Structure 1
Amino acid sequence: MDQLLSDNQALIDQIIEIVMNGGVNVVLALGILIIGYMIAGGVKRAVLRMSSKNPRIDRTLATFFASMARYAILLVVFIAVLNRFGVETTSLVAAIGAAAFAVGLALQGTLGNVAAGVMLVFFRPYSLGDFVEVGGVSGTVADITLFTTELNTPDNKTIIVPNGQAWGNVITNFTVKPTRRVDITFGISYDDDINKAMDVIRAHYDADERVHKDPAFFLGVIAHNTSSVDIVTRAWVNTPDYWAVYFDAMKGIKEAFDANGIEIPYPHQVEVRKKA
């Protein structure tokens, strides 16, 4: 009887020890979870706060980095909790690494767009509202995400360009500079007075207040073509005035040529007959 009581007491002691150890592990695991969660949230807020002080870091990019930092900390916390309960985490970490590698291979195009999106947002070759040409298409930048760039065309179409194609190709930003040069070539007949035609052109640009005085307006004969003498004009304007100045010059100088008897020739052929 005494032996039976002794065995029961030993069993009870083992159960109490297991329960106590399990309770301690549960309490420690909860503590790790709570502290880890608090740390992850604090790191996320700190990254957002520091990034907000740097004008080169876009809000989208800052949020992406902050979320990545938070999830990385939570992953470490999760592994620590499992380790607290005696789970072998070495094989788990290896499995997570293998899974991440497999996902990376499967989504390499998508991840490439994310990497390109990070580069675009950080280096800012274009911003919202810029008129650009990227990936062979042109439009006004409506949105930049980590995956795509959204362009709105002048005829109100929306074009979605994967960031990988945008970053991997030549980018032309037409509006990033405050000023642009309006280059137009006008052709006159070989029978017309070149100096008179140049005076007519210069008078039009001198009367346009949108044309800058510095750098100075330039015009000169650039080519003797088959049917015309070509005069090139180069006028500096504010970027928002580019197309208005261009269209007004095309119309106004044609009208001024007509008023002054200056011909804008068109390609034609002259038939010359020789006597036999």
Structure 2
Amino acid sequence: MSDFFNNFDINEYLPIAINWSTNILLAVLILFVGFWLAGRAYKAVYSIGKKYERLDDTLFRFFGSIARYVIIAFVLIAVLNRFGVQTASVVALIGAAGLAVGLALQGAMSNLAAGVMLLIFRPYKVDEFIDAAGQFGKVTEVDLFTTILQTFDNQKIIIPNSEIWGQQITNHSFHPVRGVDMTFGVAYNADIDETRKVIEGVLAAHPKILKDPVPFVEVSTLNNSSVDFAVRPFCKGEDYFAIKFSVPEQIKKALDAANIEIPFPHRKVILVKED
């Protein structure tokens, strides 16, 4: 043991110890500053979505996470570089791994890209009724990969965003005032003016139908066995389904009370007697 200490030259190992200590201290400092900057970057990007009401929080939370992880990646590369690790090979390895993951998750990436577009352009929002990807319901959640709908019979439908983006999207809640299109047929012997008066009376008495715009009631089609009236009352968006499912019954009762016939499909057969 005494021979070890006699042969130990502190001047030989002191520069190495100082160099490693310096590198460790600098690495800790880089990590501290880097993680602080990553957190600040996340908050700065996320605050943009909170500042403007029309911007979606989910999208800017995602962008903030990307900014944070990119900074952390550069911080870790800088730390490795302090200890003499060849960072070029590390970057190449990370790139190859990212490419492999991207190829393995092509479907998920397409949903992610569609989710970003949906959150940027916002064709619909939570609590709005939409018709998309062959499904209809109220939007309960929109994230980067899926859109979740709640149907009238209380089912939960999860739709991948890639199936929505690029196809027709009908937003039933976008405008505050909506028209409710309905068609009613009456017999050819019915008085057209009287029929219009009965229908307009029902619409005028309904508490949820707006007076302005004025409801539209006009003859639209002369069918084989009926004269069809196109009826379009206007209402607030939240009252659309209340109007759609209550007015037909009220008009049917009003037409019956006025002795106006609502015809049903029938076929006229003529028998010819041969001598």
Q: TM exceeds 0.5?
A: yes
C-alpha contact (below 8 Å) 1:149/1:160 kept by paired residues:
yes
CA distance in 1, matches of 2:271, 2:116: 70
The alpha-carbon deviation at position 222 of structure 1 amounts to 0.9
| Partner SS for 1:146 | coil
The alpha-carbon deviation at position 207 of structure 1 amounts to 1.9
Q: Report what 1:123 is aligned to.
A: 121
| Partner SS for 2:181 | strand
CA distance in 2, matches of 1:28, 1:271: 100
Letter matched to residue 192 of structure 1: A
CA distance in 1, matches of 2:168, 2:12: 72
C-alpha contact (below 8 Å) 1:56/1:122 kept by paired residues:
no
Q: Does residue 74 of the first structure (1) align with residue 72 of the second (2)?
A: yes
The alpha-carbon deviation at position 275 of structure 1 amounts to 3.5
Paired-residue identity, %:
46
The superposition leaves residues 111-139 of structure 1 with CA deviations (integer Å, 9 ceiling, x where unpaired) of: 12112112222221111111111111111
1:57 to 52, 55, 58: 55
Q: Report what 1:39 is aligned to.
A: 37
Q: Report what 1:135 is aligned to.
A: 133
CA distance in 1, matches of 2:135, 2:164: 10
CA distance in 2, matches of 1:51, 1:242: 32
The superposition leaves residues 146-170 of structure 1 with CA deviations (integer Å, 9 ceiling, x where unpaired) of: 1111111000110000111121321
The superposition leaves residues 224-245 of structure 1 with CA deviations (integer Å, 9 ceiling, x where unpaired) of: 1111111111111111222222
C-alpha contact (below 8 Å) 1:56/1:123 kept by paired residues:
no
Letter matched to residue 36 of structure 1: G
| Partner SS for 1:132 | strand
CA distance in 1, matches of 2:246, 2:49: 45
Letter matched to residue 114 of structure 1: L
The alpha-carbon deviation at position 89 of structure 1 amounts to 0.5
CA distance in 2, matches of 1:14, 1:57: 62
Change (3 A) 1:274 1:233: same
The superposition leaves residues 197-246 of structure 1 with CA deviations (integer Å, 9 ceiling, x where unpaired) of: 11111111122242222222221111111111111111111112222222
The alpha-carbon deviation at position 102 of structure 1 amounts to 1.1
Unaligned ranges ≥5, structure 2: none
C-alpha contact (below 8 Å) 1:143/1:150 kept by paired residues:
yes
| Partner SS for 2:270 | coil
The alpha-carbon deviation at position 50 of structure 1 amounts to 3.0
Higher mean C-alpha displacement, 75-84 vs 233-242: 233-242
CA distance in 2, matches of 1:270, 1:53: 69
Higher mean C-alpha displacement, 114-123 vs 95-104: 114-123
CA distance in 2, matches of 1:126, 1:108: 25
Higher mean C-alpha displacement, 55-64 vs 66-75: 55-64
The superposition leaves residues 44-98 of structure 1 with CA deviations (integer Å, 9 ceiling, x where unpaired) of: 2222223311223222222211111111101000000101100001111011111
1:216 to 214, 217, 239: 214
Q: After the TM superposition, which parts of structure 1 deviate over 3 Å for at least 4 consecutive aligned residues?
A: 8-12
CA distance in 2, matches of 1:246, 1:161: 27
Q: Report what 1:18 is aligned to.
A: 16
2:169 to 168, 171, 176: 171
Letter matched to residue 170 of structure 1: Q
Letter matched to residue 42 of structure 1: R
C-alpha contact (below 8 Å) 1:181/1:236 kept by paired residues:
yes
Higher mean C-alpha displacement, 40-49 vs 221-230: 40-49
The alpha-carbon deviation at position 11 of structure 1 amounts to 5.2
CA distance in 1, matches of 2:231, 2:46: 50
- For normalisation by structure 2, the TM-score amounts to 0.93
Where does 1:171-250 land on structure 2 (aligned, <5 Å)?
Answer: 171-250=169-248
| Partner SS for 1:219 | strand
Change (3 A) 1:187 1:106: same
The alpha-carbon deviation at position 143 of structure 1 amounts to 0.9
| Partner SS for 2:221 | strand
| Partner SS for 1:261 | coil
